[in-house]
């Protein structure tokens, strides 16, 4: 833990804690308010935005109970809070580390974006549907005044270089609009995609390295949770199609970046060449008022997401940038045949220009031939987020550990989701080109010393041992703890 960086400890019931001295002292962050969302300023260390839902206890006995989301700001790391706005859906600082480094006066340090329905009263509704009455606003003076940035702008996804906004065109669909840091994140333009793919029911920003963007766009013509992957040009406006039928589960897309090698990504997809579509009818969703039980349930889910993140089972980039915008428990459209039986893992080494199946190791960790060849329909498949109730660790890499990737997976003609499937732990030293088996069980793992030290332990059973390697996983030593 860096002693010069403030640390937030997520508590329960909206009560959180902050330390400014590497944990020697803790104090409550809330100052009497229940905080459910917190966002630090990218440059000002003591500034933060926070949102919390009201409860019936906040109202006097003679006042009606109205549950809605409020937005606050602190400029002294939570010692005091200033109220900004009610009935807020999304919010974000309007500056990033990149925009702050640009010359000129486009960057405004105090700029804040919100999505807000100015006519909303009473209980705030959960956003199970997109709403054309919700608009994107911004303020440069902490909402003493505000300006409309985009009509029907419902959802915000802020990255270092770009800002993506879902503009509602109906209760079911949105169009994706983009603004750039060079313009102060104003001047929104419609994202240009082939075959009108900018009309969707939700999208997720996957990766924004080198100023190009990998964008997952849900395919709402299919009842199963799949979507299409697009990659942008250097301006972030024009997108080309990269991969279809990528799956999504557990709140995240089955997509991972190999951090140490430019242009290398891994994804799980429904293999369209081995399945067809059939019809299915599903009921539409409903708008309903949010309750205090909903807030408590969301806190439980947030704590679970935090636990998954700490255990290595959550894609941190996606957790920061994914904005589905509404609950999506019901999907209409065609059903993909044998959906869970046709999932395969693909890898690209050229930034999505082409994708290929992953070659299985020639032999297992004991030197026994595996006999799995791509030309025979057999390959290595890696566990990510879909059907991951056991919280298997997803593919993991570090920017400083060149070429090293570890992952949990299965070998065969598909990714086997069955709990009794033979899962092992695999390692690559060349960015995913070649793999070796390092364990017959699922492990959780971490790297140190630029990949010179690998540490692992079983993550689905109790253990008194860890294992480590000093030679990039060629040999392992067990250590009792």
In whole angstroms, what is the distance from residue 431 CA to residue 373 CA?
20
202 against 438, higher pLDDT: 438
pLDDT in tens, 84-143: 999 999 999 999 999 999 998 899 999 999 999 999 998 997 666 899 999 999 999 999
pLDDT at 276: 35
Which residue spans within 57-208 are E strands per DSSP? 69-74, 82-86, 88-93, 112-116, 135-139, 147-150, 153-158, 162-168, 174-180, 189-190, 199-200, 203-207
Q: Would the pLDDT of 260 be above 80? A: yes
CA-based nearest residue to 1, from 27, 19, 15, 16: 19
* 337-351: average pLDDT: 95
If pLDDT is split at 50, 70 and 90, which confidence band does 31 have?
A: low
- Compute the average pLDDT of residues 214-236: 91
Q: What is the pLDDT of residues 33-72, one digit of tens each?
A: 678 898 999 999 899 999 989 888 888 888 888 999 999 9
Q: What is the mean pLDDT of the chain?
A: 85
407 beta partners? 426
CA-only gyration radius of the chain, Å: 23
How high is the pLDDT of residue 142?
98
Q: In the prediction, which pLDDT does 17 show?
A: 75
**List of residues 6+ apart from 412 with CB closer than 8 A:** 372, 378, 381
Q: How far apart are CA 460 and CA 352, in angstroms?
A: 33
Instruction: Say how far apart CA 455 and CA 303 lie, in whole Å.
Output: 26
Choice among 153-162, 208-217, 463-472 with the minimum mean pLDDT: 208-217
The pLDDT value given to residue 128? 67
pLDDT at 152: 97
């Amino acid at each position: 833990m860096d002693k010069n960086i403030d640390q937030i400890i997520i508590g329960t019931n909206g009560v959180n804690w902050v330390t400014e001295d590497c944990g020697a002292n803790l104090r409550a962050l809330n100052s009497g308010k229940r905080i459910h969302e917190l966002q630090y300023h990218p440059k000002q260390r003591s500034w933060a935005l926070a949102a919390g839902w009201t409860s019936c206890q906040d109202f006097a006995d003679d006042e009606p109970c109205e549950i809605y989301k409020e937005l606050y700001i602190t400029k002294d790391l939570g010692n005091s809070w200033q109220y900004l706005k009610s009935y807020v859906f999304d919010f974000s600082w309007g500056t990033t580390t990149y925009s702050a480094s640009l010359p000129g006066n486009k960057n405004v340090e105090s700029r804040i974006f919100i999505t807000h329905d100015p006519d909303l009263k009473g209980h705030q509704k959960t956003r199970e549907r997109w709403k054309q009455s919700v608009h994107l606003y911004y303020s440069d003076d902490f909402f003493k005044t505000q300006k409309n940035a985009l009509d029907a702008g419902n959802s915000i996804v802020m990255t270092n270089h770009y800002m993506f906004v879902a503009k509602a065109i109906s209760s079911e669909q949105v169009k994706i609009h983009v603004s750039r840091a060079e313009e102060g994140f104003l001047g929104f333009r419609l994202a240009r995609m082939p075959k009108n793919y900018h009309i969707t029911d939700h999208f997720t920003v996957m990766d924004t390295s080198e100023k190009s963007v990998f964008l997952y766009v849900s395919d709402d013509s299919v009842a199963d949770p799949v979507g299409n992957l697009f990659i942008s040009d250097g301006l972030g406006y024009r997108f080309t199609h990269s991969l279809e039928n990528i799956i999504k589960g557990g709140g995240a897309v089955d997509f991972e970046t190999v951090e140490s090698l430019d242009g290398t990504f891994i994804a799980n997809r429904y293999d369209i060449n081995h399945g067809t579509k059939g019809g299915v009818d599903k009921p539409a969703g409903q708008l309903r008022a949010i309750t205090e039980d909903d807030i408590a349930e969301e806190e439980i889910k947030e704590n679970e997401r935090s636990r998954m993140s700490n255990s290595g089972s959550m894609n941190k980039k996606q957790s920061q940038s994914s904005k589905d915008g509404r609950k999506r428990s019901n999907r209409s459209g065609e059903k993909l045949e044998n959906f869970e039986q046709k999932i395969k893992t693909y890898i690209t080494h050229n930034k999505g220009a082409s994708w290929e199946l992953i070659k299985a190791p020639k032999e297992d960790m004991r030197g026994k031939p595996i006999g799995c060849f791509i030309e025979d329909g057999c390959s290595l498949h890696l566990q990510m987020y879909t059907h991951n109730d056991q919280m298997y660790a997803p593919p993991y890499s570090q920017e400083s550990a060149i070429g090293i990737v570890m992952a949990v997976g299965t070998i065969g003609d598909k990714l086997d989701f069955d709990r009794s499937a033979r899962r092992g732990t695999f390692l690559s030293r060349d960015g995913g080109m070649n793999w070796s088996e390092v364990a017959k069980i699922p492990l959780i793992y971490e790297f140190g010393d630029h990949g010179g030290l690998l540490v692992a332990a079983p993550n689905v059973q109790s253990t008194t041992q860890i294992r480590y390697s000093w030679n990039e996983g060629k040999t392992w030593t067990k250590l009792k703890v």
